[in-house]
Amino acid sequence: MTYLSLSLWFIGAAALIAVLLPLCGGGRRSARPNLTAVALTLLALIILTAVFDSLMIAADLFYYAPEMLVGVHIGLAPIEDFAYPVAGGILLPSLWALLRSRRRSTEPVSKTS
């Protein structure tokens, strides 16, 4: 298995779960993440990954077998290295929105006179 195929499976699983999680929230709008916030988070994660992975690769902290890579790099970081932050940026906002919507639905309603 190449790094790319592993990355695609990882991102695919995260995307599938991110699509299914709002359905677990009963279709409530509050169970869906804000797409603008997700996009900005993904952009920040990609930039940070490019910078810090390039620094770590330049410092010889880790090594990728070249025959397992596609060959596309952002800085010194191979494109496959971006799968984990992208999957996290897709999956975690959906999980957060689901947990927030469930918390709101279980909070007692306050009665005002």
What is the spatial distance between Cα 40 and Cα 35, in angstroms, rounded to a whole number?
9
Strand boundaries in 1-113, DSSP class E: 73-74, 77-78
Residues 6+ apart with CB under 8 A from 94: 17, 18, 19, 21, 22, 32, 33
Determine the Cα–Cα distance for residues 52 and 72; give it in Å rounded to an integer.
17
* Per-residue model confidence as pLDDT tens digits over 30-49: 667 788 888 999 999 999 99
CB 88 within 8 A of CB 14: yes
What is this structure's pTM? Answer: 0.74
Q: What is the DSSP letter of 61?
A: S
Contact 100, 30 (CB under 8 A): yes
Average pLDDT across the chain, whole number:
84
The pLDDT score that the predictor gives to residue 27 is 58
- As a whole number of Å, the CA-based R_g of the chain is 19
Mean pLDDT of 105-113: 59
